Amino acid sequence: MRVDLGGIRMKNPVTVASGTFGYGAEYAKLVDVTRLGAITVKGIRLQPWSGNPLPRHVEVPGGMVNAIGLQGPGVEGFARDYMPFLRTTGVPVIVNIWGTSEEEYAEVARRLSEVEGVSGLELNISCPNVKEGGNAFGTDPRAVSSLVATVRRATRLPLMPKLAPNVPDIKLFVRAAQEAGADALALINTLPAMVIDIETRRPILANKVGGLSGPAIHPVAVKLVWEAAQVARVPLLAMGGIVGPDEAIEFLIAGASAVAVGTANFIDPTTPLRVLEGIEAYLRRHGMNSVAALTGSLCMTNPATNVEP
Amino acid sequence: MRVDLGGIRMKNPVTVASGTFGYGAEYAKLVDVTRLGAITVKGIRLQPWSGNPLPRHVEVPGGMVNAIGLQGPGVEGFARDYMPFLRTTGVPVIVNIWGTSEEEYAEVARRLSEVEGVSGLELNISCPNVKEGGNAFGTDPRAVSSLVATVRRATRLPLMPKLAPNVPDIKLFVRAAQEAGADALALINTLPAMVIDIETRRPILANKVGGLSGPAIHPVAVKLVWEAAQVARVPLLAMGGIVGPDEAIEFLIAGASAVAVGTANFIDPTTPLRVLEGIEAYLRRHGMNSVAALTGSLCMTNPATNVEP
Amino acid sequence: MMKDVTCRVIGQVPLTAGYWALDMEAPGLAEAAQPGQFVHVRVPGLEPIALRRPFSIFGAGGTTLKLLYKTVGRGTAQMNRLAPGDSVQVIGPLGNGFPLAPQGEPLLVAGGYGVAPLAFLAERLPTKGVVLIGGRTADDVLAVAAFERLGWIVRVATQDGSLGETGLVTVPLDRELARLREAGVTPELFSCGPDGLLRAVGERAIQAGCRGWLSLDKHMVCGVGACLACVQRLRREDGTEWIGRVCRDGPVFEAREIVW
Amino acid sequence: MMKDVTCRVIGQVPLTAGYWALDMEAPGLAEAAQPGQFVHVRVPGLEPIALRRPFSIFGAGGTTLKLLYKTVGRGTAQMNRLAPGDSVQVIGPLGNGFPLAPQGEPLLVAGGYGVAPLAFLAERLPTKGVVLIGGRTADDVLAVAAFERLGWIVRVATQDGSLGETGLVTVPLDRELARLREAGVTPELFSCGPDGLLRAVGERAIQAGCRGWLSLDKHMVCGVGACLACVQRLRREDGTEWIGRVCRDGPVFEAREIVW
Ligand SMILES: Cc1cc2nc3c(=O)[nH]c(=O)nc-3n(C[C@H](O)[C@H](O)[C@H](O)COP(=O)(O)OP(=O)(O)OC[C@H]3O[C@@H](n4cnc5c(N)ncnc54)[C@H](O)[C@@H]3O)c2cc1C
Ligand SMILES: Cc1cc2nc3c(=O)[nH]c(=O)nc-3n(C[C@H](O)[C@H](O)[C@H](O)COP(=O)(O)OP(=O)(O)OC[C@H]3O[C@@H](n4cnc5c(N)ncnc54)[C@H](O)[C@@H]3O)c2cc1C
Ligand SMILES: Cc1cc2nc3c(=O)[nH]c(=O)nc-3n(C[C@H](O)[C@H](O)[C@H](O)COP(=O)(O)O)c2cc1C
Ligand SMILES: Cc1cc2nc3c(=O)[nH]c(=O)nc-3n(C[C@H](O)[C@H](O)[C@H](O)COP(=O)(O)O)c2cc1C
Ligand code: FES
Ligand code: FES
């Protein structure tokens, strides 16, 4: 079940999605986090950041919309308060990072490179919930290229940009990121979304807009992962709407090397382990001896059918 | 309840989404279609078109993914076989049109301008299910601009481009379309999506990819409608995930002048009429005497709360 | 004339493993139902936006509508929970049924839950004949007693030999056809089942020079012809082809119409 | 120590209009429960991905976990259907409860379903005192008998005057505080209810120079501190501010900690 996610050596292909599993410690009493392939933590910028006002989330059919706004303790706070526990898990730690300028991203990467136990960086260039940083960087291939190149120079850690889903052609971004030195790619982040309270006629989220996650976005994510896989020369970490093994296996077949469980953690914290066991069972049942055998195994020829209209 | 949708005079703000209500006649035995604000028919190109092989749809959480592929009878077939019934309804008929070249779009528009009873054209530049035409036109503002200008020259009918949702900045497309002569704008079309059968490891849809519709996409649609309304000088027709009055009212508050019910027709064909009655009741309850009072009434200041983190 | 009716469940009974017979009060719908037509069911308990499920009409008498269904997925599994008094939204009757004035001696060929429309047909046809029922195992052979009660001769074939003769139902079909041919009787075939069976029945109808009415099972969305999810390439008498909507133009087609 | 437990419903009873008391077998969870802690309930029958709903622990004895809830939306409406024997996934006990060794004379102030944690607290506090219950109408006044059975003095205020005195619960609160002040007794306030009430109670605690324990009701997602949906700006003793997670660092805070 081993997977090498662009230098992040995972003992299995299942991690958690940034922002849905805190800093690993919060769920550790409910889930054996040492069984995860990696732990991906909430987005971190250089300094502590207070995020958006409340309400920060709203439930919608098929998922939720959130606008947490990347609240976090900053690099120092993270290293001091959360890394000690994370190191005890023995599991690779992927840190999701962001900034409001290329320099900030680079500086965060530089500092985290010196923190013991950090295994890789997920570059968040696709958060719909902050004005600067986030989605603005992620929706212009040149900006992605320039940002990834800058951060690349600042660290030797495996670098995994997390692409924005709200683009017409994800392939441009895959190429831009990998040519600029990305070791892996993560997708997808939440879809920009909005929910209005029709009685008050105000947006429910204090931030007005937020990001849609959960099963609602799964078919969109599969399409993007599959499309990305057409041109990706680096491994893909897929996420978006995984609630059990089936959605994860879809991602692997579409071309992902590993998967991350997000929103489902909130409802059933054992989801990542169920997904893991389900993938194992699937591989056994289909006589496959590695995740790699499943990755990108999508067969594009339809079976002979009488289905031509 | 009257609404002027860029020259399409609707007696109320509720229509049906193209492709989900056939050519009006199919549901006429179940629903009093004469009560609709307009009837929007399935996409039509110049010649008959056979669409995609089967399977053409798959059910997913929060909706469905379809890849019908714009099967249709062509302009002549439509005018001959379906317009006679539509004319008897006395309801404005909006024809959804497409082509594989600017010339084809223009020619379809030209011919439909001569068909009695056609009240407006919805320009489908955002269908994810056909190779040419559709989404390719809709994701490049220059292509949109050029196409709309060309079709504009071909017809005096109200022209309503239907924008693609999978773009980082919908405002560019709103501006491009209205500057090129659009009278109204429709959004959103389905989100590009894919579903894989994990046992056969094949895409479920014969077309491989399709479009996600239903409640799953509603918060995404609200965000895009709201954003479009920031720069739109023409009325907006909003759709995506309406299942009852509430989702429709959200769209109106976000800035739409009218709404279209899509996927929900398949589950409950009375949805458009329920939506209509719900909007009426809402206006009454809030002492508003026109739909226009609701359109764009979103209040962006949050109530004073203790919610700063 | 199709209607959107709120039906009340009268009751349902499990038949063989996985198969159920469901009776509902469907006033205004049941009276209009013809054999071969179907209904589109909004399964209570699925998410509000779950698609409707299509089922052939298994029987209709007075205001009672009868369905026979096999539990194959989440919708039918949910239907297992329906209890007397429950409300179910049903659209129907939909589509075009079987012709009820056959020109030949009726020979019915059912595969699995394909017996459903044929049992209703057997009830309404003016003449009785033979019905052939095929299934994988004995569990897939339904409604034998119902056909016999109506005076039909039933022959069963199962692939595993657990009921009737062993093998595909086309084996007794070919025997029946040979018998009728020898007797100089023109048969008229009526079939419902998986595509493979329908195709085989259709080929035999063409070969025998008789009419063969096939009820197609396509995944559906709207059920009324509005969405184009259920299309089938068809051939007109003049040989030109067109694309029909199984829900509206079918689900019953004559063997020669279908371009497989 | 929080646990993810499959609970079995023992039963539930409707209280006043819209309010229910729900008892479940929660082995491993109930034993550890402390007043002021809460549980995170996966409501059966909602879509699989519906968020969990947080509820204060209304009582815990042996392996039995008691909740008291008000029907306010689709989750709680669905909970009304829970029947004995049903399984419910529950995570808990979560958060930090009330201190159980008060320095002053306990004075409890409940608003609506805010009685839930206070009733559990009343059971576990070493000394009895007065509990003030406020509500819009008589229907919003719960658990009076339970408090009285435990030896607490109950005073009720309703906004419409349908039970107890008319007006906000802060009126009897001010009277109680005056009485205690005159008697030279330092009170210790414990409150749960809507933000407006908590704020009013907190202000009075600060004014009276006593401790005031407030249990906050914030919308939650994870319930364990992982998502940052439920944050609250807080003040340390040294005056510096920080952002706490109500689910993990609360839901109970001392009045002076909270930056409203
Ligand atoms: C005209 C017609 C008549 C039918 N009559 C009967 C009948 O009398 N008895 C009976 O048991 N079944 C009948 N079927 C098949 C029945 O519709 C499916 O078995 C049922 O929809 C499966 O639903 P599910 O949720 O249990 O399965 P799932 O596989 O969970 O369903 C997923 C989706 O696929 C569709 N689907 C799955 N299988 C089929 C299928 N075989 N045909 C059409 N759609 C399918 C469902 O409607 C749903 O949209 C008929 C189908 C058609 C088109
Ligand atoms: C720590 C804590 C303890 C609570 N204890 C109790 C209790 O003992 N008894 C009781 O009746 N209620 C209690 N509540 C409130 C209870 O959680 C909500 O009433 C319930 O979640 C409403 O769910 P719904 O689906 O019926 O409402 P909906 O409005 O349909 O819910 C929509 C979403 O909003 C959330 N939500 C709605 N209202 C609240 C609220 N007041 N607080 C938090 N989230 C909310 C829901 O959890 C859900 O995610 C408590 C809340 C918190 C945070
Ligand atoms: C509450 C919440 C917080 C999130 N925070 C972050 C974040 O800090 N950085 C980031 O890159 N993505 C963040 N995401 C996005 C997720 O990592 C993930 O990409 C997305 O939720 C899709 O997966 P899902 O559908 O399984 O939740 C967050 C998502 C949620 C729901
Ligand atoms: C089966 C189906 C067919 C569709 N056909 C068309 C079409 O021909 N032209 C078009 O512009 N949009 C088409 N659409 C998109 C809808 O008009 C609508 O934009 C979309 O479904 C979102 O609305 P909904 O969520 O309410 O369904 C189709 C959608 C569905 C589900
Ligand atoms: S199911 Fe919609 S056209 Fe047949
Ligand atoms: S609910 Fe997730 S941090 Fe409190």
- Nearest by CB to residue D42, choosing from A64, A263, A267, is A267
C152: its two tokens: 């039909």
The position carrying tokens 């005031």 is D212
Considering only CA atoms, which of C70, C65, C54 is closest in space to residue C19? C70
The whole-angstrom separation of Cα C152 and Cα C148 is 5
- Helical packing angle, B74-81 and B102-113, nearest 10°: 20
DSSP state at residue B34: G
Ligand 3 atom 28, closest CA: A19
Interchain contact C49–B (C-beta under 8 A): yes
D153 touches chain B (CB under 8 A): no
d(CA C22, CA C12): 4
Distance of alpha carbon D106 from the chain centroid: 15
Element at B8 (helix H, strand E): strand B8-10
pLDDT score for A308 = 52
Judged by a CB distance cut-off of 8 A, whether residue D32 touches chain A is no
CA C187 to chain A, closest CA, distance in angstroms equals 27
- Cβ proximity of B200 and A303 under 8 Å: yes
Summary mean pLDDT of chain D: 96
Identify the band that residue D246 occupies on the pLDDT scale cut at 50, 70 and 90. very high
pLDDT tens-digit series, residues A96-106? 999 999 999 99
pLDDT recorded at residue A134: 62
Q: Which two tokens stand for residue C63?
A: 């205001």
The beta-carbon contacts of A152-156 under 8 Å, at least 24 apart in sequence, are A152/A180, A152/A181, A152/A182, A153/A106, A154/A106, A154/A107, A154/A109, A154/A110, A154/A113, A155/A109, A155/A110, A155/A112, A155/A113, A155/A121, A156/A113
> What's the per-residue H, E or C state across chain C?
CCEEEEEEEEEEEECCCCEEEEEEECCCCHHHCCCCCEEEEECCCCCCCCCCEEEECCEEECCEEEEEEECCCHHHHHHCCCCCCCEEEEEEEECECCCCCCCCEEEEEEEHHHHHHHHHHHHHCCCCCEEEEEECCHHHCCCHHHHHHCCCEEEEEECCCCCCEECCCHHHHHHHHHHHHHHCCCEEEEEECCHHHHHHHHHHHHHHCCCEEEECCCCCCCCCCCCCCCEEEEECCCCCEEEEEHHHHCEEEEHHHECC
Interface touch C232/A61, C-beta < 8 Å: no
Smallest Cα distance from A149 to chain D, Å: 31
> How near does any CA of chain C get to the CA of B83, in Å?
15
Q: Provide the pairing of β-strand D187-192 with D105-111.
A: parallel
Distance from CA of A216 to the nearest CA of C (A): 12
What is the pLDDT averaged over residues D203-230?
Answer: 97
Q: Which tokens sit at B27?
A: 């549901």
Nearest to D248 by CA among D236, D235, D231: D231
Percent of chain B surpassing pLDDT 90: 92
Residue B137 has pLDDT above 90, yes or no: no
Structure tokens at B35: 């009560």
Q: Which residues line ligand 6 (CB under 6 A)?
A: D 220-223, 225-230, 245-247
Parallel, antiparallel or unpaired: strands C105-111 and C187-192:
parallel
Question: Using CB atoms within 10 A of its CB, is residue D45 exposed (0-12), middle (13-18) or buried (19+)?
Answer: middle
Count of structural domains within chain A: 1
Burial class (CB in 10 A: 0-12, 13-18, 19+), D237: exposed
Cis status of the peptide bond prior to B188, with omega within 30 of 0: yes
Are B5 and B257 in contact, with CB atoms under 8 Å apart? yes
10 Å Cβ neighbour count for D109?
Answer: 30
Residue of B nearest to C249 (CA): B26
Taking residues C21-43, what's their average pLDDT?
Answer: 97
CA distances (Å), origin C258, targets C199, C215, D232 = 9, 11, 67
* Structure token pair of residue B296: 């764009």
The residue among A1, A16, A2, A3 whose CA lies nearest residue A271 is A16
- pLDDT category, C139, cuts 50, 70, 90? very high
pLDDT in tens, B12-71: 999 999 999 999 999 999 999 999 999 999 999 999 999 999 999 999 999 999 999 999
Per-residue pLDDT of chain A (309 residues; tens, 9 = 90+): 999 999 999 999 999 999 999 999 999 999 999 999 999 999 999 999 999 999 999 999 999 999 999 999 999 999 999 999 999 999 999 999 999 999 999 999 999 999 999 999 999 998 776 666 566 678 899 999 999 999 999 999 999 999 999 999 999 999 999 999 999 999 999 999 999 999 999 999 999 999 999 999 999 999 999 999 999 999 999 999 999 999 999 999 999 999 999 999 999 999 999 999 999 999 999 999 999 999 999 998 765 444 455
B303-307, C49-53, C146-150: the lowest-pLDDT one: B303-307
Cα separations in angstroms, D154 against C205, D109, D136, D148, D169: 86, 10, 17, 7, 12
Q: Whose CA is nearest to atom 28 of ligand 2?
A: D73
pLDDT at C136 over 70: yes
pLDDT over 50 at C179, yes or no:
yes
Mean pLDDT of the region C174-180: 95
**Token pair belonging to D46:** 């909602």
Q: Name the average pLDDT for chain C.
A: 96
Q: Which of B227, B195, B57, B167 is nearest to A240 (CA)?
A: B195
Nearest residue, CB atoms, C195 vs list A61, A306, A308: A306
What amino acid occupies position D2? M
**At how many degrees (to 10) do helices A102-113 and A141-154 cross?**
30
Residue ranges making up the domain that contains B179: 3-306
Could you read off the pLDDT of D138-176 as tens digits, one per residue?
Answer: 999 999 999 999 999 999 999 999 999 999 999 999 999
Distance C228 CA to ligand 4 centre (A): 12
CB-based contact B185:B170 (threshold 8 Å): no
DSSP B129-162: T-SSSTHHHHT-HHHHHHHHHHHHHH--S-EEEE
pLDDT of residue D106: 96
> In this complex, which of C195, C199, C233 lies closest to A309 when CB atoms are compared?
C233
Task: Give the residue from B264, B269, B258, B191 showing the smallest Cα distance to B2.
Answer: B258
Provide mean pLDDT across the span D11-21.
96
Q: Cβ(C138) to ligand 5 under 6 A?
A: no
Average pLDDT over residues C77-97: 97
Query: Using a CB-CB distance cutoff of 8 angstroms, which residues of chain A are in contact with residue D221?
Result: 57, 64, 66, 266
The pLDDT assigned to B126 comes to: 81
Q: List the single residue in B30, B71, B263 with the smallest CB-CB distance to C49.
A: B263
CA dist., res. B66 & res. B213, Å (int): 8
A102-113 vs A74-81: helix crossing angle, rounded to 10: 20
| pLDDT tens digits, A151-208 | 999 999 999 999 999 999 999 999 999 999 999 999 999 999 999 999 999 999 999 9
Q: In the structure encoding, which two tokens stand for residue D215, read together?
A: 């249990």
Q: How far, in Å, CA of B80 to CA of B84, rounded?
A: 7
Task: Tell me the ipTM for this assembly.
Answer: 0.96
Q: What is the mean pLDDT of chain B?
A: 94
Nearest ligand 6 atom to alpha carbon D223? 1
d(CA C241, CA C6): 39
Which pLDDT belongs to residue D1?
80
Compute the average pLDDT of residues C186-197.
97
Q: Which residues of D touch A56 (CB under 8 A)?
A: 228-229, 231
Which residues are within 8 A (CB) of A267 and not within 5 positions of it... i.e. 6 or more apart?
A: A243, D42, D48, D49, D50, D51, D52
Mean pLDDT of B271-291: 97
Is the peptide bond preceding residue C93 cis, with omega within 30 degrees of 0?
yes
pLDDT band (50, 70, 90) for residue B306: very low
Per-residue pLDDT, B288: 96
Residue type, A279: I
Map tokens 């496959």 to a residue. Answer: A288
Q: From the candidates A127, A130, A148, A160, give the one annotated as an active-site residue.
A: A127
- What is the sign of the dihedral through the CA atoms of A160, A163, A169 and A173? negative
C-alpha of residue A211 to centroid of ligand 3, in Å: 8
Interchain contact D233–B (C-beta under 8 A): yes
Residue D203 DSSP SS3: helix
- Model pLDDT, residue C237: 93
pLDDT of C1: 81
Q: Tell me the two tokens of residue B309.
A: 């983190």
Closest chain D residue to B306 measured between Cα atoms?
D260
Name the catalytic one among B127, B224, B243, B260: B127
Give the position, in ligand 5's atom list, of the atom nearest the Cα of C225. Answer: 3
Domains and CATH numbers, chain D: 3-94 (2.40.30.10), 105-217 (3.40.50.80)
D64-119 pLDDT, tens digit per residue, is 999 999 999 999 999 999 999 999 999 999 999 999 999 999 999 999 999 999 99
Helix (H, G, I), strand (E, B) or coil at D150: coil
Q: Neighbours of A (≥3 Cβ pairs closer than 8 A)?
A: B, C, D
Mean pLDDT in residue range C202-216: 96
pTM metric for this prediction: 0.97
For the CA atoms of B302, B304, B305, B306, the dihedral, rounded to the nearest 10 degrees, stands at 130
pLDDT for the residue numbered B304? 45
- Report in angstroms the alpha-carbon separations of B71 from B68, B140, B203, C253: 7, 25, 20, 21
Q: What's the confidence (pLDDT) of residue B300?
A: 85
| CATH number of the domain bearing residue B227 | 3.20.20.70
A127 is catalytic: yes
CB pair distance less than 8 Å for D49 and B308: no
Q: What does the DSSP 8-state code read for residue D44?
A: T
DSSP string, A115-173: STTEEEEEEE---TT-SSSTHHHHT-HHHHHHHHHHHHHH--S-EEEE--S-SS-HHHH
**Using alpha carbons only, what angle is made at residue C157 by residues C152 and C163, rounded to the nearest 5 degrees?**
95
Between the two ends of chain A, the Cα-to-Cα distance in Å is 42
Q: Which of the ligands is closest to the CA of residue D246?
A: 6
Surface of C (2-21) touching B: CB under 8 A = 2-4
Residue B65: what residue type? Answer: V
Task: Kindly state the tokens that stand for D161.
Answer: 């005057």
Tell me A305's DSSP state. Answer: -
For residue B84, give every residue at least 6 positions away whose Cβ sits within 8 Å of its Cβ, in sequence order, or none. Answer: none
